[in-house]
Amino acid sequence: MEILGNKSVSLRSIIRKHPLNLIIWVLLCGGLYLTSLYSYVLFHIVAESFSIIIAFSLFTIAWNTRRLAKNNYVLFLSIAFLFAGLIDFVHTLAYKGMGIFQGFDANLPTQLWIIARYLQSLSLLAAPWFIDRKPNIRTVFGFYLVTTILLLTAVFSGTLFPNCFIEGQGLTPFKIVSEYVICLILFISLAFLLSRSKKFDPQILHLMVGSILFTIISELAFTFYISVYGLSNLIGHYFKIFAFYLVYRAIIVTGLDNPYSLLFYDLQKNREELQMIIDASPIMIFYKDRESRFIRVNKALTEATGLHREEIEGKTDFDIYPDQARSYEEDDKEVIASGKSKTGIIEQLDTAQSGQRWLQTDKIPYRDINGSVIGIIGFSIDITERKQAEDALLNSEQKLKAVLYGSPIPQFVIDRDHRVIYWNSALEEITGIKASEVIGTNKHWQAFYDTERPCLADLMADGAIEGINELYQGKYGKSKLVDGAYEATDYFPTLGEEGKWLFFTAVVIKDVNGQVIGALETLEDVTERKQAEEEILTLSITDQLTGLHNRRGFITVADQQLKLSDRTKRGMLLFFADLDGMKWINDTLGHEEGDRALMEAAAILKETFRAVDIMARMGGDEFAILAIDSTEINSEIFSTRLQERIDAHNQQENRRYSLSLSVGCVCYDPQNPRSLDELIGHADRLMYENKRIKKSCL
């Protein structure tokens, strides 16, 4: 797998596929070298900052994706790199020439370097142990925090940690030995990592191995220098940059682009567990490769065919069922070529054990870890009894047709596969669709809707009408069962010039054994009644003066939005506004002018807020607005926009008074839910506080 653009790549493949990367790296390395010639301290800051930023970034990404990726190896390593990066940060500040820590010489940054590398190497050694184990995050974090504090304390004490560098002499034996010990630890961690190689995506493994090897080379370079500004010191920092870059590529991609590429697996164990699971299924399950050879079959399939697993696996349909193999193979090739599933395939199966059987098969693409189609997975169920029942239903077609076709009530009948069996003349009249156009097809709902509708899927699957409540749900209210029949009202936009509302009833048709074999549906045009109901509903929730919701309408719709906000975890803003000076307008200029002021205020609110927001006149001169999917950040935007609209309105010529709104705003946080009454009460208090402040400023 590749880790660049959902593809995982090694360093070599990055360079090969993207030669521009090599050019960029050469330019960066050359730039760093020129920087070292100008100021080695500046070079050191840049080089160390690269690894520090990566260490901090790795921790941030791994920590924030830990619930998604659930990758213990990555999370542990990221915590370790965070604290190693923290020590590297102090090392950078303490470097010779920085002048930040007074009274210390080049020994201090060298000591800090050693403790950071010990922490890093030991963490790389321990990390593979967490592949199969879940670490206690608080314990791990606390351990590294305490360890880092103790190490820094020892170094800065001046006496508790051994000297690593002596001015004029160079590296101490302790420092040189420590570098070799660190290299040994890294070699052991590399061996440990390779021993767990099957637990990793191969290319991710390559990146981690490369990072450890570059780290070893870096450490070896740091065993030679006499001056902290020397060539081997420079080379060591280059290889440290390369090492951190490879860790970055491995973990950043694992944490974001492909969080499962480092998940561990045991192929043999998974294969056995998978075989147990599919063998327990009553559905016939099989896997085929691109040549339609059976890779694996389950127990249900072997029992249905009367063949042993060894007689099926490794063979094609031509070896087993030569008479039906051609149609099987065509379906397989279609799924493999398109990469799309094919469902509801009706197949005939002739076996010596049980004779002729009918199967309904779904075939889906079988993909490898790169997403390439390498075969198909099939699921089959025996529908022989259902097929026989459907044939019995079709045999009685003429009798039923004579009864239904001449009925003045619009009716149609479908079988278990949603195919239309009858479509009477009354239905032809109401839909404009002739029976010859839909009989024998399952496209009948296109006569009503502009897309296909899965009308009786659950009913047919379960043999019980209760299973289709949600499928038949209309726009208004829930569907219901009455005396065993399903009843619902729905809007059909394709009927007539403006569409029609139809009330329809669905009842199941059963055979003599009580098995569901179809359904009879009866329709009634209720458009006029529905329009009257909608007009009454609109009047009951609308303020007649402003056209906004009234108090009842606002509470109804706002309660629904609060429930939706609790599910989606998106906040909202509730504004509560009062038209200032309303009493003066009514008493001085008359109630007609007061009504005009209310309508002008409503118009300003409509201009200020969005169409999706819920606006209402709560009564008298009070308004409420529920701003959907908004936060406290948006409140200032809305408030500013509202005041601008009011100011623009007041600047119109020949106005006898100025409009003014006192506003209170409260944010609804779904993490800390409150009732609508509480929100309104809080916003109302803030509104009156705003009104009080306005009066005090007069």
CA 677 to chain centre: 34
Residue 196 DSSP symbol: T
**CB 649, CB 604: distance < 8 Å:** yes
- Fold classification of 278-382 (topology level): Beta-Lactamase (3.30.450)
Helices 676-696 and 551-568 pack at an angle, to 10 degrees, of 110
Q: DSSP labels for 54-114?
A: HHHHHHHHHHHTHHHH--HHHHHHHHHHHHHHHHHHHHHHHSTT---STT--THHHHHHHH
CATH architecture for residues 11-257: Up-down Bundle (1.20)
Q: How many CA atoms lie within 13 A of 341 on its CB side?
A: 9
Structure tokens at 669: 């946080």
CA–CA distance, 306 with 349 (Å, rounded to integer) = 12
Q: Read off the pLDDT of residues 147-178 as tens digits, 9 standing for 90 and up.
A: 999 999 988 888 888 988 887 777 888 888 88
CATH of 542-696 given 3.30.70.270, 1.50.10.100, 1.10.10.10, 3.30.1600.10: 3.30.70.270
Q: Report in angstroms the alpha-carbon separations of 45 from 50, 164, 237, 244.
A: 9, 21, 11, 15
Handedness of CA 341, 343, 345, 350 (dihedral sign): positive
CA–CA distance, 598 with 424 (Å, rounded to integer) = 56
Handedness of CA 382, 385, 387, 390 (dihedral sign): negative
Long-range contacts of 177-183 (CB under 8 A, 24+ apart): 178/114, 178/117, 178/118, 179/114, 179/117, 179/219, 179/220, 179/222, 179/223, 180/223, 182/114, 182/117, 182/118, 182/121, 182/219, 183/216, 183/219, 183/220
What is the residue extent of each domain of the chain?
11-257, 278-382, 388-531, 542-696
First to last CA, the chain: 71
Residue partners of 111: CB distance under 8 A and separation at least 6: 155, 161, 162, 163, 164, 165
Handedness of CA 438, 443, 444, 449 (dihedral sign): negative
**CB 58, CB 247: distance < 8 Å:** yes
CA 635 to chain centre: 28
CA–CA distance, 54 with 245 (Å, rounded to integer) = 8
Q: Read off the pLDDT of residues 1-38 as tens digits, 9 standing for 90 and up.
A: 233 333 344 445 555 555 666 677 677 777 777 776 77
Same topology between domain 11-257 and domain 278-382: no
CA–CA distance, 572 with 207 (Å, rounded to integer) = 46
Cα angle 154-160-162, degrees, rounded to a multiple of 5: 105
CA–CA distance, 336 with 9 (Å, rounded to integer) = 27
CA–CA distance, 81 with 545 (Å, rounded to integer) = 66
Name residues of the chain where pLDDT drops below 70.
Answer: 1-22, 25, 36, 65-71, 201, 224-230, 252-273, 351-355, 393-406, 443-488, 492-494, 496-498, 531-539, 698
Residue 227's pLDDT is 60
Residue partners of 344: CB distance under 8 A and separation at least 6: 360, 362, 417
For the chain, what is the radius of gyration of the CA atoms?
38
Q: Reduce the DSSP state of residue 447 to 3 states and report it.
A: helix
CA–CA distance, 207 with 204 (Å, rounded to integer) = 5
* Residue 340, number of CB atoms within 10 A of its CB: 11
CA–CA distance, 86 with 53 (Å, rounded to integer) = 10
Residue 682's pLDDT is 92
CA–CA distance, 421 with 400 (Å, rounded to integer) = 10
Helices 19-38 and 40-64 pack at an angle, to 10 degrees, of 130
CA–CA distance, 241 with 218 (Å, rounded to integer) = 9
**CB 219, CB 179: distance < 8 Å:** yes
Please give the single-letter amino acid code of residue 160: L
Structure tokens at 75: 């999370």
Structure tokens at 592: 């007609």
The domain 388-531 having CATH identifier 3.30.450.20: the answer here is yes
pTM recorded for the entire structure: 0.39
CA–CA distance, 372 with 26 (Å, rounded to integer) = 35
CA–CA distance, 527 with 545 (Å, rounded to integer) = 29
